[in-house]
Copies of this chain bind each other. A is one copy, B any other.
């Protein structure tokens, strides 16, 4: 095991490569992932190394190939499905929520469904309303599904490897704005475990800020801004949206007594509400202020760059929200 500097995208490629080498029952399906190596180049070199039987270009038929992954998983394979833009999870939705997520349970726990669905989501690239969603809230309420969100190259690598080894359906949400983020990656890690909860990225005593995916970096940015004002923020990456476990966040709040949750989704129906609701019930007496949420507005995302930027939670807005709690 050696640590190597690479991008988030390269970390995804590496995780796929290592796990496909390790286990011949793994295979990956998706659109334009073979010779073209994926529109975001997340499948670079895979076709060449593993061949067309295990690296499969699919028709534009997300219901078909996502559903096929259930059939593969039931019969000895460990399929990985790449959804080019997370927004397209909508066309495969039934197969995920009514099929994949429920099949083991409905069988009485008698079958295993090791399936990974990787979806690349997120705003910030001016892709407009139908190509900028992180989309996790669509599936946040679906029992039987695990949902994890890597916010840096190391996590992209470790989480994807863990998801591939997991015997259950795991939705791995990757963020397109992070694709060229660089960071150290512990190449060749063999001791892999699924994350079971959040992760503290920066310690602080005054306020807890929780984010996911691209909002983690913005939260860290907010912490820097707050530091200049003498406020120490603890920044936590939620990492795991499903099953949700906020104990670490509640612990943090017991120390900081204030909570801000930052979510790249609309104000209703997202995980930030769950975090608030659960933390409130676990650490009610420790809260000095009502937990605040910073989210997208309650309308679809506009295309125009200035508008898109104005909608996204900025470090400034996050910092201001945190500061307001402390006043």
Contact = CB atoms under 8 A, between A and B. Distances in A.
Interface stretch (A101-109, A113-121, A179-187): A101-109
Contacts of A140: 137, 141, 268-269
B105 A299 contact: yes
Interface stretch (A31-39, A41-49, A91-99, A161-169): A91-99
A143 B90 contact: no
Contacts of A298: 143, 243
B274 A269 contact: yes
A218 to B, nearest CB: 19
A268 B140 CA distance: 6
Name which of A137, A265, A297 has the most chain B CB atoms within 10 A of its CB. A137
Copies of chain A in the complex = 2
Which of A140, A143, A284 has most chain B Cβ within 10 Å?
A: A143
Interface residues of A, number: 55
Interface string A267-301: 11111111011101110100101111100011110
A287 B285 CA distance: 11
A299 B292 CA distance: 29
Contact of A97 (B138, B267, B299): B138
Contact of A269 (B129, B137, B266, B293): B137
A142 interface: yes
A106 B129 CA distance: 7
A87 interface: yes
Contacts of A268: 140-141, 241-244, 271, 274
B291 A280 contact: yes
Interface of A: 87-88, 90-91, 93-94, 97-98, 101-102, 105-106, 128-130, 137-144, 241-244, 265-274, 276-278, 280-282, 284, 287, 289-293, 297-300, 302
9 contacts: A87-B98, A98-B130, A102-B130, A105-B129, A106-B129, A138-B139, A143-B298, A269-B269, A277-B293
